Amino acid sequence: MKQLACPPATDTGIYTEALEAYKKEQKDPSSRGQLSIKDSLQLLDQLLKRYKHPAIILDALDETPEETRGLIIQDLRSLLDNAKHPVKIFIASRHSLDIEDRLQDLLHVRIEARDNAEDI
């Protein structure tokens, strides 16, 4: 989110959407310094619209509880459906049937460790 919130090719500045989300969060004493999932997704959706070729990298999806994985994938699919431009999502995960089942209808490339063992 931090990389998407900062305009490209500059070390200063932040998009107004991110600044407004931060200010809103600061006013809410129950937030404990974090955006809610709903607010995070709204901000991510707004920031993705600023880029022609946005990409999201999600590492270790298999390390989240199974019910949480389903919600994460559902939210990512919603972002894809609403995206102004095509969004690339890279998910790194150990093999897990529930993840594979939830992503089977999407265009994807699956890489196993044995596929690049010689390079490693």
Q: Are residues 82 and 108 in the same domain?
A: yes
How far is the C-alpha of 85 from the C-alpha of 102, rounded, in Å?
Answer: 22
**Do residue 42 and residue 70 come from a single domain?**
no
Integer Cα distance of 107 and 83 in angstroms: 16
Per-residue pLDDT of the chain (120 residues; tens, 9 = 90+): 888 998 877 666 899 999 999 888 888 877 677 888 889 999 999 999 999 999 999 999 999 999 899 999 999 999 999 899 999 999 888 888 888 898 888 887 777 777 776 765
Instruction: For residues 38 and 63, state if they share a domain.
Output: no
Q: Do 45 and 71 fall within a single domain?
A: no
23 and 62 in a common domain: no
Q: Verify that 41 and 1 share a domain, yes or no.
A: yes
Predicted confidence at residue 75, as pLDDT, reads 93
Domain extent at residue 79: 54-120
Contact in structure between 82 and 48 (CB atoms under 8 Å): no
Model confidence, pTM = 0.78
CA 20 to chain centre: 20
Number of separate domains in the chain = 2
Residues 41 and 29 reside in one and the same domain: yes
